[in-house]
């Protein structure tokens, strides 16, 4: 069958070779035995069934199954592999689903619809879309891994951006040849995928566009963001964020009302850990363009990091457009609510995201970390195991595994988990610190020197409030508990607000018995109570109401 316009999926039961696929009950069975085809794997199969036996390209699958999430061909390939495994198919000798080189995928046989005698009028089958499925830009500074892993918001290191707009409705007419994309448009596509190799492709295209048109504003802004992403996402040296800042400033100089330029400027500061300058850029961008939901959400993230929890929650719930287009918004709101003292409302959001989005790395991190922070260690261990079984490979999960091992008194397993995290993020600071503390212990003087170096960095106005906690670990490991307690207090003074984590984490066990540590926790509770009073009552009532 020739490639045709995408069909509208119709609910019902289908025969696919020796399989029965029930798109209403979302069940696949062979000889009456249910196969483990569920979630995104089932949605992919359902969409392919709706297309008969025509070849379905990568772009169409991304558009119709994953949108509005931004993913790449590798994501599709991995999901096809999981679907084949669940069906017992062999990609080398396929019975159900074949690869068509350079084009996409095709069912090996045309599915036939079963029409039961009591079948009602067919209704459109909703193809699930993922509002949360790709890793978002994670602020990655010199001390950034602390933010991402032990940091304290359960989704630390989680940046907020707007998805590229996509329709989740299948087109009804044959596709019309699109106009050729410009270099900048193609670069924007690659940059949106959130993958290191694609970010490098975007940089090359932006650079080529600027070589041909040196004053291309969109290319300047795009290249600025891609350079910042090198630092925030991929652990490049901070110098790239400095270059990003210069490009964003050049765009602003050419057009002082360029909201995108100010957002890129804020991002360049954000990736260097300069929170005040980053917020100034984000806030100015929102003033110029109040509909810039992605920038508003980025500002909300930094409000949260600085302890301005009320501002963060209000900003996250004041978006002008479709909230589904903002990455990880529900996780952000869950974090705000949790820190404000509404764990039940937060739990519902974390649990639902973990259930609905098994491919979402940050959902897989946030749910077990939430359980850990609230002392539910057995549940946290089970959720962590499930996240790892889903194929999620992220340093944060191994850092959490290490903390859970320490909570069980298993230092050997903890050291192995921290070493795995360090291997996954070799340029990150926190995994190296934890290896030095729990693996092959570094000499006290080495730990003190690192603590002093980090303190000087933070005192220059860079970094996050939570970064002081890594300094505290270094001082504690060197035997200087007094300095460590002052570091914890400094984190609180700068805006750190996660008392639950400090109470639960075995990393701070040596400090927990000191009165100064208890005073820091009490001060957090006082700050949180003050923030809670600043949130409109009707907003809290709406967000904390039982479903």
Segment 149-166, tens digit of pLDDT: 333 333 333 334 433 333
Structure confidence at residue 182 (pLDDT): 84
pLDDT range class, residue 264, cuts 50, 70, 90: very high
Distance CA 159, CA 138 (A): 5
13-114, CATH topology level? Arc Repressor Mutant, subunit A (1.10.10)
Q: Taking the mean position of all CA atoms in its chain, how far away is CA 214?
A: 34
Structure confidence at residue 457 (pLDDT): 86
Task: Give me the percent of the chain exceeding a pLDDT of 70.
Answer: 84
Structure confidence at residue 487 (pLDDT): 97
Structure confidence at residue 90 (pLDDT): 85
Q: Kindly tell me if the per-residue pLDDT of 43 is higher than 90.
A: no
Give the C-alpha distances (Å, rounded to integers) separating 204 from 70, 72, 81, 207: 20, 18, 31, 5
Lowest mean pLDDT among 16-30, 496-510, 528-542: 16-30
352-547, CATH topology level? 1.25.40
Structure confidence at residue 142 (pLDDT): 40
The residue extents of the domains of the chain are: 13-114, 182-327, 352-547
The answer regarding whether domain 182-327 maps to CATH 1.25.40.10 reads yes
Lowest mean pLDDT among 170-174, 256-260, 540-544: 170-174
For residues 57-66, give the mean pLDDT: 84
Backbone angles phi, psi at 501, to 5 degrees: -65, -45
Structure confidence at residue 155 (pLDDT): 33
Structure confidence at residue 153 (pLDDT): 34
Domains 182-327 and 352-547 are alike in CATH topology: yes
List b or e across 94-123, with b for residues whose CB sees 16 or more CB atoms inside 10 angstroms: bbbbeeeeeebbbbeeebeeeeeeeeeeee
For residues 323-346, give the mean pLDDT: 88
Structure confidence at residue 163 (pLDDT): 31
When comparing pLDDT for 155 and 285, which is higher?
A: 285
Q: Kindly tell me if the per-residue pLDDT of 121 is higher than 60.
A: no
């Amino acid at each position: 069958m020739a490639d045709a316009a995408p069909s509208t999926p119709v609910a019902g039961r289908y025969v696919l070779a020796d399989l029965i696929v029930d798109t209403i009950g979302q069940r696949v069975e062979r000889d009456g035995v249910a196969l483990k085809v569920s979630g995104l794997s089932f949605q992919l199969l359902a969409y392919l069934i709706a297309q008969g036996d025509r070849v379905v390209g990568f772009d169409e699958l991304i558009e119709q199954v994953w949108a509005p999430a931004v993913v790449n061909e590798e994501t599709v390939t991995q999901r096809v592999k999981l679907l084949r495994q669940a069906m017992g198919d062999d990609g080398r000798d396929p019975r159900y689903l074949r690869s068509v080189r350079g084009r996409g995928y095709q069912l090996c046989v045309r599915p036939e619809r079963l029409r039961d005698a009591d079948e009602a009028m067919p209704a459109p089958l909703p193809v699930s879309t993922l509002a949360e499925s790709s890793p978002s830009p994670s602020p990655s500074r010199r001390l950034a891994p602390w933010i991402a892993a032990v940091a304290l918001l359960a989704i630390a290191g989680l940046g907020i951006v707007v998805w590229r707009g996509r329709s989740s409705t299948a087109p009804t007419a044959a596709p019309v040849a699109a106009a050729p994309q410009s270099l900048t448009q193609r670069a924007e596509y690659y940059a949106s995928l959130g993958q290191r190799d694609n970010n490098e492709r975007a940089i090359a295209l932006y650079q080529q566009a600027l070589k041909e048109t040196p004053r291309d504003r969109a290319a300047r802004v795009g290249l600025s963001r891609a350079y910042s992403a090198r630092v925030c996402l991929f652990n490049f040296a901070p110098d790239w964020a400095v270059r990003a800042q210069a490009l964003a400033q050049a765009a602003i100089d050419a057009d002082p009302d360029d909201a995108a330029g100010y957002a890129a400027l804020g991002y360049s500061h954000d990736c260097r850990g300069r929170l005040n300058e980053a917020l100034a850029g984000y806030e100015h961008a929102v003033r110029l363009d109040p509909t810039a939901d992605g920038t508003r959400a980025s500002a909300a993230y930094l409000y949260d990091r600085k302890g301005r929890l009320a501002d963060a929650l209000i900003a996250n719930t004041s978006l002008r457009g479709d909230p589904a287009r903002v990455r990880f918004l529900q996780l952000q709101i869950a974090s705000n609510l949790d820190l404000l003292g509404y764990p039940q409302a937060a739990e519902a959001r974390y649990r639902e995201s973990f259930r609905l989005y098994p491919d979402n790395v940050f959902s897989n991190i946030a749910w077990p970390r939430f359980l850990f922070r609230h002392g539910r260690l057995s549940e946290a261990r089970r959720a962590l195991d499930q996240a790892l079984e889903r194929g999620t490979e992220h340093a944060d999960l191994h850092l959490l595994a290490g903390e859970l091992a320490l909570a069980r008194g298993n230092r050997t397993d903890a050291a192995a988990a921290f070493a795995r995290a360090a291997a996954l993020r070799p340029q990150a600071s926190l995994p190296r610190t934890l290896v030095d503390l729990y693996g092959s212990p570094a000499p006290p003087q080495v730990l003190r020197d690192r603590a002093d170096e980090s303190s000087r960095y933070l005192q220059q106005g860079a970094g996050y409030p939570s970064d002081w906690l890594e300094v505290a670990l270094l001082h504690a490991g060197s035997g200087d508990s007094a300095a460590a307690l002052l570091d914890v207090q400094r984190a609180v003074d700068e805006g750190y607000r996660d008392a639950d984590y400090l109470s639960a984490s075995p990393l701070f066990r040596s400090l927990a018995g000191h009165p100064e540590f208890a005073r820091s926790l009490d001060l957090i509770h006082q700050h949180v109570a003050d923030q809670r009073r600043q949130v409109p009552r009707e907003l809290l009532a709406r967000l904390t109401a039982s479903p």
